Structure 1
Amino acid sequence: MAPATQFELSNPPNDAISALAFAPSSSSRLLVSSWDKKAYLYDLQASDENAEGFRGSLLSAFEHRAPVMDVCFGANDDEAFSAGMDWTVQRIDLASGDMSVVAKHGAPVRRVVYSREHSLLISASWDSTLQVHSPLDASLPALTIPLPGKPHALAASPSKVIVAMTSRLVHIYDLSALSSAVTSRASSPPPPWQQRESSLKFLTRAVAAMPSDAGYATSSIEGRVAVEWFDASAESQARKYAFKCHRQQQPQENGSGGAMDVVYPVNALAFHPAFGTFASGGGDATVALWDAEAKRRMKIYQKFPDSVAALAFSADGRYLAVGVCPGFESGMEDYEGQGRSHVLIRELGETEALPKGKAK
């Protein structure tokens, strides 16, 4: 693998970026969803460079009726699903461009994930429900799961799905149980496999599942990340931890000469698919790489032009995609983010994401 390089995708979204997702097979296909009411499909390896530092090609843009809050690939590289502020989940045929509604909620849909291991589509809406669908069999009705809080983050591991809600609530569902409930047309949903209280004191902003199926990480609006394991044994739970990050020292405004900690939200998390390390992105416009097992920061990248809104690793671990746009910390009334979104792609060095002391 070549040494690390970084480039920017041409033709980025026109408004804030909400999510990034790499294809399950091809490391060069990337989906981007945006508040400009579109989902975008890029080819990272396209050769039509249009300016120095830019690479990649925009293959298609898929128009929605409202801002697109999330996007994911489905069973293959030609199927995608989007979550919208129009209260729907749409299936997108990336080859033909056809779009169809596959789920309707009673409020905006915040997140959507697809489990290839169980062929399940799961959407989380601000109507405080999860919907579980089997896209392979449209005759099966959706399984609706009422939630005790409004969901803000959702992630799937090979066997579990984690939903983080308001009031520091975290529910973990077993995907096999959800699949059985859908195929059997169960009259009531299965209970959560585990119910937890978040290790973080403030609102959860992001959740990411370990590809090893051992646990997950969450982040909050108050500059913290927590790492936890699924195993409920006392020994395993004693391993969980939380730490401060994405904070900057700035001089006191009163001229006293002292410094104060300025805390930024941690907007995005993503696990490397092979090494067990993970990346975090924050409102401080930085991305850091962490060793989850050793509890240490491995690397912090150069500052980006604006807040980091989304992160994604490619399935082969070759690329890290970084979605950059102005944050919403100052509110929507004076938000001026149009035309300031960027998608940066870092082609990782061979051992860049490898924990120290471990052989590749």
Structure 2
Amino acid sequence: MSSQFELAQNPTDAISAVKFAPNSSTRLLVSSWDRNVYLYDTHAEPGGKLLQKYEHPQAVLDVCFGRDDNEAFSCGLDWIVRRIDLETGAMSTMSMHEKGVRNVIFSRPHSLLISASWDSTLHLHSLSDIENPDTYTTVPLPSKPFSLSVSPTKLVVAMASRALHIYELDSLAKVSTEGGVVDVEPWQRRESSMKYMTRAVACMPNDAGYASSSIEGRVAVEWFDPSDESQARKYAFKCHRQAVDGQDIVYPVHALAFHPVHGTFASGGGDGVVALWDGVAKRRIRQYQKFPASVASITFSEDGKFMAVAVSPGFENGMEELPDGVIKVFVRELGETEAMGKKK
């Protein structure tokens, strides 16, 4: 049985990210251009309960949980990577980049926090190095990063000029305590198999590969294994397109997320549609009814029971004023087989 509801108290400006807690399938963080990070208990009462708001000086572009359900990290247009104690609301600065910070992500197995900024650098923070909480290592990138994702052993960085770097998290964890600027050789350098700008990247939970999406209605699925045989399996497909008056309208694919249990993945587009895919069988499993605006971010709970979908105008048609009631977070309880791949 699946059911879906909308959170009662939504952000007031475009949503940049939604993330479930590592140990709770009802604890949800939402970051927004309205300069706040929101913490919800999605099932405390009908429509969920807003537990707390954490105000920032500028728009928040990403947020993630840390070592437990009470630790979070945020980043945004004020160039700062912050730690948030979700219990007390206390915030502290982890590091400062030289431009806006687009992404922040945490690898639990490596106790490693990674931020990616439009200054074309990564900052690595070792959270196991409690003696030196302010020490971080800067890793230069060849171009501006757009999206980050971690698998159990890898970090994938999608950048401008269709460049992708794949790093081994073990190597990054080693240099994270050194401080200063360290040139880290990626494990692999790749060029996106899509012709247009990469919008999002998401790693497979089984550590086998990743999916990436473009501004031009496509998703590519690739495997880490560099062997010719494995690379021959990679493919890209068209999605998030709609025929309007006989014209094929193509939308950007803003969001990708893998299901932690079944290994299938969800894509969300500027068309307001979320689709579920079986990347191995190369088939669409299902497509949900259209949401009221562009899909900005998707996340699954760690146990795979819930999917949260952030909806806000993507300004695909230019910068408009925000109409009322289009910024929403939907939480869907998935049926037992809803996200399962196709049977062989």
Normalising by structure 1, report the TM-score: 0.93
Amino acid at match of 1:343: V
| 1:90 and 2:77 aligned | no
In the other structure, the counterpart of 1:68 is: 60
Render the CA deviation track for 1:54-78: whole Å, top value 9, x for unaligned.
x210000100000000000001000
| Whole-angstrom distance in 2 between the partners of 1:106 and 1:337 | 33
Closer, same or farther: CA 31–165 of 1 in aligned 2, 3 Å: same
Match of 1:313 among 276, 300, 319: 300
| Whole-angstrom distance in 1 between the partners of 2:121 and 2:178 | 20
Q: Which runs of 5+ in 2 are unaligned?
A: none
CA contact (8 A) 1:321 1:343 kept: yes
Alignment of 1:185-196 (within 5 A): 188-196=182-190
Amino acid at match of 1:8: E
| 1:351 and 2:337 aligned | yes
| 1:6 and 2:11 aligned | no
In the other structure, the counterpart of 1:37 is: 35
RMSD: 1.3
Query: Between the two proteins, what is the percent identity of the paired residues?
Result: 61
In the other structure, the counterpart of 1:46 is: 44
In the other structure, the counterpart of 1:25 is: 23
Match of 1:232 among 222, 226, 231: 226
| Whole-angstrom distance in 2 between the partners of 1:318 and 1:173 | 30
Give the drift of 1:216.
0.5
Q: Which runs of 5+ in 1 are unaligned?
A: 50-54, 252-258
In the other structure, the counterpart of 2:315 is: 328
| Whole-angstrom distance in 2 between the partners of 1:110 and 1:331 | 21
Alignment of 1:1-360 (within 5 A): 3-47=1-45, 49=46, 55-138=47-130, 139=132, 141-183=135-177, 188-251=182-245, 259-332=246-319, 334-337=320-323, 339-357=325-343
Give the drift of 1:45.
1.4
Amino acid at match of 1:234: D
| Whole-angstrom distance in 1 between the partners of 2:317 and 2:43 | 36
| Whole-angstrom distance in 2 between the partners of 1:60 and 1:337 | 25
Please identify, of 336-345 and 193-202, the stretch whose mean Cα deviation from structure 2 is larger. Answer: 336-345
Q: State the secondary structure of the residue aligned to 1:280.
A: strand
Q: State the secondary structure of the residue aligned to 2:237.
A: strand
| Whole-angstrom distance in 2 between the partners of 1:183 and 1:176 | 12
Give the drift of 1:137.
2.0
Q: State the secondary structure of the residue aligned to 2:176.
A: helix
| Whole-angstrom distance in 1 between the partners of 2:323 and 2:204 | 32
Give the drift of 1:188.
2.6
Amino acid at match of 2:77: M
Give the drift of 1:326.
1.1
| Whole-angstrom distance in 1 between the partners of 2:67 and 2:41 | 19
Aligned length: 342
| Whole-angstrom distance in 1 between the partners of 2:238 and 2:340 | 22
CA contact (8 A) 2:140 2:181 kept: no
Give the drift of 1:25.
0.6
Closer, same or farther: CA 63–339 of 1 in aligned 2, 3 Å: farther
Give the drift of 1:184.
5.0
Give the drift of 1:335.
3.5
| Whole-angstrom distance in 1 between the partners of 2:271 and 2:215 | 12
Normalising by structure 2, report the TM-score: 0.97
| Whole-angstrom distance in 1 between the partners of 2:324 and 2:194 | 32
CA contact (8 A) 2:148 2:155 kept: yes
| Whole-angstrom distance in 2 between the partners of 1:265 and 1:63 | 30
Render the CA deviation track for 1:114-155: whole Å, top value 9, x for unaligned.
000100000000000011011232516211111111001111
